Amino acid sequence: MFQAIRTLLEVEKRLSLHPRTRLCPLFASTTQQKRYFTSYKRPFLHSASQPAPAHTCCFPINSASSKFVTIASVNMSSAVEAKKTSKLEFQRLPLNAVPVHYDITIKPNFDNFTFEGVENIDLKINETSPNIVMNAVELNILKAVWKDSGTGKEQVAQTISVDETTEIFTAAFQPPLQSGTGTILLEFTGSMNDKMKGFYRSKFKGSDGQDKYNGVTQFEATDARRAFPCFDEPSHKATFNISLVVEKNKTALSNMPVKEIQAYPEDDKLHVVKYERSPIMSTYLVAYCIGDFEYVETTSSDGVLCRVYTPPGKKNQGKFALSVTAKVLPYYKEYFGIAYPLPKLDLIAIADFSAGAMENWGLITYRETCLLVDEEETSATSRQWIALVVGHEIAHQWFGNYVTMEWWTHLWLNEGYASFVEFLCVDFLFPEYDIWTQFVTDTFVRALELDSLKNSHPIEVPVGHPREVDEIFDDISYSKGASIIRMLHRYIGDADFRKGMNIYLTRHQYKNTFTEDLWRSLEEASGKPIGQVMGTWTKQMGFPLIRVQSEQNGDTRVMRLTQEKYWADPNLKNSKEHNDYSWMVPVAFCSASDPNTPICQTLMEEKMVTVELPGIRSDEWVKLNPGAVGFYRVRYPPELLVEFLPAIKNKILPPLDRIGLLDDLFAMVQSGESSTVDVLRTLDAFKNEDNFTVWSSISNVMSKLNLLFAYTDYHDQFKKFGIHLFSGIADSVGWEPKEGESHLDTMLRSLVLLRLTSFGHEKTIQESKRRLNLHRNGDQTIPADLRPVVYRGVISEGDEETLEMMLKMYRESDMLEEQDRIGRSLGLAKNLNVLKKVLEFAISEDVRSQDTVFIMISVGMNKVGRPLAWNFFKENKKFLGERYPSGGLIARLVKHLCENFVTEEDARSVTEFFAENPFAGTERTVQQVVESIRLNEQWLKRDERLVGEFLTNAI
């Protein structure tokens, strides 16, 4: 029996099943179970398959496995829980042999971009078996020898094979290996690719003007297997000893400090750098970097040696991130109640880098624009972004590295959590950024937007094949994850939240977790039903729309709330599944007499609740969701909504509530419950607005409408409306930075002027031209914050000569932030020949592949450029497919190139193109953009005439 249970538990673990979904001993065989449970489906790929069982199977469990026994009872229909059939064949690694320790030596060759590797992996053999199965891809494995620790006997593998599709490497031994321990020796070679994954090469200009290369790594999610054969799943934690055979004059770094440097007898230009043994950790966190770097360093008050590595000559640009790092480490130590466990922490800027940054334990890698700050060249926006990214990756050192998700289904535990904590950290270091308010216009709203689509997905999503894993590094895992943690944080309060975090991190240190483990710790700390509440937010996609009705009863306000699923597409309200969704929603209110103090915080457990608020005068407004903390939308009847307008005008309502009202109303417009005219009218109440973040929210609304109404005959009138709306605040911020102005005022200036440029405001564009001339002549440098305004203004009316001038500036700049600023401006040109040249430039030798997509996107964001960019994408499909074999960048490109089309014809063209030319890792994105295109079409059809009439009368 024990054996049977163990097998069940293992199958369950292998399949990454949620603990709620137990395997039933009634199944005839594990194969049958496997087939049943792997048939969860992703809705857009397949027709309905068998639903997950509504019941929970029970069987006796020994106490060691008790963590699987507690079952969160989630109050929602099983019909809406994540199910999918993995389209791509996938199986997790068998558990017969598991790694304990890796000893890896890598010798790169920068002449032909190859590397040689020798690896000894200490394994525990759980069951006698002929095969050792692990991951490898694009590696040439030359030799595999097994040495049994018990007998000391060596055995050469009879066969070794790598299946490049499943990325599985199998070494077969005869006679079979006996259970016990031993070491497998592997020798292999590979290539340092230019695809920004695995162990790859990153280009830079040497001081002699020649192209030079650094060798760096990016392993998350599943690319350690490109650098060395390994058990490349997050739950296969082991310790690592890394050694690098490198030229003596190169900097060589890895996760741990250098232990010793040995001579390399075969070549005296080389030496062997050996690093200390790492703590037990997942493969995706291993890293090494070899090349030309310099650094600045300091020791944090909690005794960690911190360094920021930069390209030669730029070490001063590392000082900002260094000071953030040195302050964040003790802050997190205090917050989590656990010290950073490694002796050193390096942050390093990498010129070619696909993501923004990567949290490798002890050696965090960054895109240059996410790490380097130049006092003159870096904008306030970038500086703030860098603080957030540094805070994010350092948060992962605890959340992700110290405690790691068991499988990628729980990726959000890493990314959602770090995306929340980065704000805690920046708020602590830079209170003047008012960063929590910005959280709402950025993170929170972005999550709501994506999650309103029928092609969204639950936070906890079953994934298997690496391509599916790549796809969930999206706004659901990051932004919705962070938003629901913020909601939870408010629900249980900071003290219990910290206590729970400490329990979680301590209990699971150096181990792996499921989402439930986090809930359990927070439940223990707070005594609240966290698993039950939070399950409704992580296991089903979407969020509620809460409709409010109210009536006065003496001095009591009676609020009636009803919840239903919010859909961007109004037709889905009639769908079969609509009523299957329900959430347990922490709700709160505030009222006119004290807008800053939430009242009556309670849990909405049913679809309909009535809340009585005593002591509210009949003339007071009452607002739901103060501070936009709850992850839901609110719909007030028109007569209640107008009551808020005076409080918006005189700013009695706090900024987050002004934003919340505007954005909720805008969501009602998107879903057809209100008209665009309502939102345009409401904007009038924001005339006296002076808060950066509120303006940023207005700007988001206007920018979306500008994209949409570009397809109407009255686009010019719309732009005039926009200019009128922004002119007051533009006059007050002016062009000249004021002595000693705040960070947010600096950001407000560029926000407002940028928006005016997008509306074609002639005065702003003329001023941009004037300032660029002065800048180019060396008479007056444009402050970094205003450069996007100037570049966009100039190119928007520019010709090919203007473009040449800007390309020259691009090529001459050695600061990637500046290149990025120029690159992202180029697509604003209106001249078709200029736009064609911009697209050609984007894929030229002058542009790094990490930056190509952003230049192409800038063209796609422009109505004139959109068809050009889309055709260009199609014409260059082979090139782009090879350049971005999977992952984030290509998905972003697809999203931003396509989602702003507005006709059924475009929707079909996009669908058909990707059906015939699939791009790995973009499947869900394609479904989402097609849905968005159709929503745009409906929206325009609904509101086009009314908005035309409104604008004619308004201007």
Q: How far is the CB of 743 from Zn ion (least distance, A)?
A: 24
CB-CB contact of 184 with 252 (8 Å): no
CA-nearest of 42, 5, 40 to 23 is: 5
**What beta strand segments (E) does 570-680 contain?**
585-591, 599-604, 608-614, 622-624, 633-635
- DSSP reduced 3-state for 237: coil
Q: Is there binding between residue 767 and Zn ion (CB under 5 A)? A: no
CA–CA distance from 367 to each of 338, 363, 824 (Å)?
A: 28, 13, 16
Residues with Cβ within 8 Å of 330's Cβ and at least 6 positions away in sequence, in order, are 300, 301, 302
Total number of residues shown for the chain: 955
Q: In this structure, is the dihedral angle defined by the CA atoms of residues 886, 888, 891 and 897, taken in order, positive or negative?
A: negative
Q: How far is the CB of 351 from ligand BES (least distance, A)?
A: 15
**What beta strand segments (E) does 481-592 contain?**
511-513, 544-553, 556-565, 585-591
Q: How far is the CB of 324 from ligand BES (least distance, A)?
A: 13
Distance CA 394, CA 372 (A): 16
Q: How far is the CB of 223 from ligand BES (least distance, A)?
A: 9
Angle, CA 580 vertex, CA 578 and CA 583 arms, to 5°:
105
121-129, 356-364, 706-714, 867-875 -> range binding ligand BES (CB under 6 A): 356-364
Residues between 220 and 239 that touch ligand BES (CB under 6 A): 220-221
The structure tokens 């709402």 sit at: 440
Angle, CA 33 vertex, CA 31 and CA 35 arms, to 5°:
70
Distance CA 900, CA 709 (A): 11
Toward Zn ion, which CB reaches closer, 418 or 461? 418
Q: How far is the CB of 172 from ligand BES (least distance, A)?
A: 32
Distance CA 158, CA 16 (A): 32
Q: Is there binding between residue 475 and Zn ion (CB under 5 A)? A: no
Q: How far is the CB of 396 from Zn ion (least distance, A)?
A: 6
358 binds, among ligand BES, Zn ion, none (CB under 5 to 8 A by kind): ligand BES
Q: Is there binding between residue 496 and Zn ion (CB under 5 A)? A: no
Q: How far is the CB of 140 from ligand BES (least distance, A)?
A: 25
Q: Is there binding between residue 415 and Zn ion (CB under 5 A)? A: yes
Q: Is there binding between residue 415 and ligand BES (CB under 6 A)? A: yes
Q: How far is the CB of 415 from ligand BES (least distance, A)?
A: 5
Q: Is there binding between residue 394 and ligand BES (CB under 6 A)? A: no
Q: How far is the CB of 365 from ligand BES (least distance, A)?
A: 9
Q: Residue 158 has what DSSP assignment?
A: S
CB-CB contact of 942 with 672 (8 Å): yes
How many residues touch ligand BES under the rule CB under 6 A: the total is: 16
Q: Residue 860 has what DSSP assignment?
A: H
**What beta strand segments (E) does 226-283 contain?**
239-247, 251-254, 258-263, 270-275
224-232, 293-301, 351-359, 602-610 -> range binding ligand BES (CB under 6 A): 351-359
Distance CA 308, CA 325 (A): 9
CA-nearest of 84, 81, 86 to 48 is: 84
Toward ligand BES, which CB reaches closer, 466 or 586? 466
Q: Is there binding between residue 358 and ligand BES (CB under 6 A)? A: yes
Q: Is there binding between residue 406 and ligand BES (CB under 6 A)? A: no
Residues with Cβ within 8 Å of 909's Cβ and at least 6 positions away in sequence, in order, are none
Toward ligand BES, which CB reaches closer, 256 or 388? 388
Q: How far is the CB of 770 from ligand BES (least distance, A)?
A: 36
Q: Is there binding between residue 413 and Zn ion (CB under 5 A)? A: no
250-258, 366-374, 417-425, 656-664 -> range binding Zn ion (CB under 5 A): 417-425
Q: How far is the CB of 342 from ligand BES (least distance, A)?
A: 17
Among 119, 232, 276, 359, contact with ligand BES (rule: CB under 6 A): 359
Among 52, 289, 411, 418, contact with Zn ion (rule: CB under 5 A): 418
First-to-last alpha carbon distance for the chain, in angstroms, is: 80
SS (H, E, C) 310-373: ECCCCHHHHHHHHHHHHHHHHHHHHHHCCCCCCCEEEEEEECCCCCCEECCCCEEEEEHHHCCC
91-99, 154-162, 187-195, 355-363 -> range binding ligand BES (CB under 6 A): 355-363
Query: Across-strand partners of 599?
Result: 589
Q: Would you give the binding string for ligand BES spanning residues 862-901, x where CB under 6 A is met?
A: --------------------------x-------------
306-314, 349-357, 433-441, 788-796 -> range binding ligand BES (CB under 6 A): 349-357
Q: How far is the CB of 424 from ligand BES (least distance, A)?
A: 14
Q: Is there binding between residue 707 and ligand BES (CB under 6 A)? A: no
Assess whether 393 carries a catalytic annotation: yes
Q: Is there binding between residue 356 and ligand BES (CB under 6 A)? A: yes
385-393, 424-432, 686-694, 726-734 -> range binding ligand BES (CB under 6 A): 385-393
Toward Zn ion, which CB reaches closer, 418 or 445? 418
CB-CB contact of 104 with 117 (8 Å): yes
CB-CB contact of 798 with 393 (8 Å): no
Among 396, 508, 623, 633, contact with ligand BES (rule: CB under 6 A): 396
CB-CB contact of 200 with 216 (8 Å): yes
355 binds, among Zn ion, ligand BES, none (CB under 5 to 8 A by kind): ligand BES
Q: How far is the CB of 662 from Zn ion (least distance, A)?
A: 29
311-319, 324-332, 354-362, 932-940 -> range binding ligand BES (CB under 6 A): 354-362
82-90, 387-395, 625-633, 853-861 -> range binding ligand BES (CB under 6 A): 387-395
Dihedral over alpha carbons 230, 236, 237, 243 (to 10 degrees): 0
Instruction: Tell me which of 233, 393, 523, 818 is the catalytic residue.
Output: 393
Q: Is there binding between residue 357 and ligand BES (CB under 6 A)? A: yes
Structure tokens belonging to residue 15: 């399949």
Q: What are the helix and strand counts (H, E) for the chain?
A: 30, 29
Q: Is there binding between residue 393 and ligand BES (CB under 6 A)? A: yes
389-397, 526-534, 539-547, 826-834 -> range binding ligand BES (CB under 6 A): 389-397
Among 402, 408, 412, 473, contact with ligand BES (rule: CB under 6 A): 473
Residue 612, phi then psi, degrees to nearest 5: -100, 125
Toward Zn ion, which CB reaches closer, 311 or 416? 416
Toward ligand BES, which CB reaches closer, 84 or 197? 197
Q: Is there binding between residue 355 and ligand BES (CB under 6 A)? A: yes
356 binds, among Zn ion, ligand BES, none (CB under 5 to 8 A by kind): ligand BES
Distance CA 162, CA 140 (A): 9
236 binds, among ligand BES, Zn ion, none (CB under 5 to 8 A by kind): none
Distance CA 567, CA 580 (A): 13
110 binds, among ligand BES, Zn ion, none (CB under 5 to 8 A by kind): none
Toward ligand BES, which CB reaches closer, 321 or 418? 418
CB-CB contact of 320 with 383 (8 Å): yes
Among 11, 134, 286, 389, contact with ligand BES (rule: CB under 6 A): 389
CA Rg, the chain, in Å? Answer: 28
- Catalytic residues, by residue number, are 393
Contact positions vs ligand BES (CB under 6 A): 220-221, 355-359, 388-389, 392-393, 396, 415, 418, 473, 888
Binding site for Zn ion (CB under 5 A): 415, 418
